[in-house]
Amino acid sequence: MKASIDISLYPLNQDYLPAIDAFIKALKQYPDIDVVENDLTTQIFGDFDVLMACLQTEIRGSFLEFGQGVFTLKVLKEDLRRTQHD
C-alpha cells in the first residue's frame, strides 16, 4: 500500500536547526522513499511499511542524538504528492 506522510519536527532546545537538518538528511539516505522538503514540513512518499520502518529508526535516532523533540505526522493512504500540473 502506498502512503504519504507529512512530518514536522519541533526540537525542544534553542539550537533546533541541526536536529531538523540531520533528520531530513537521514531520511534522504533511504533509496526506497521519496523526500520532498518545503518551508514548513517534510513529506515522504512510498510503501507504507517502508515509510514507517524508516520513521521508527530515524525518530529514535533523533531522540538519542538531540534529546527531546516533538514530531507531528499526518499519514495519508496513497501517494498524494503534487504533480507539476497542480
Nearest Cα residue to 51 out of 63, 69, 35:
35
Assign residue 56 the CATH number of its domain.
Answer: 3.30.70.930
Quote the domain boundaries for residue 71: 2-77
d(CA 9, CA 26) in angstroms, rounded, equals: 13
Nine-digit cell string for 77: 493512504
Identify whether 85 is part of a domain. no
Give the tens place of pLDDT for each residue, 30-48: 999 999 999 999 999 999 9
Instruction: Flag whether 83 is in a domain.
Output: no
pTM over 0.75: yes
How far apart (Å, rounded) are the C-alpha atoms in residues 12 and 14? 7
pLDDT of residue 51: 99
**Strand intervals (E) in the chain:** 2-11, 34-37, 42-47, 69-77
Number of domains observed in the structure of the chain: 1
Query: Is 56 a domain residue?
Result: yes
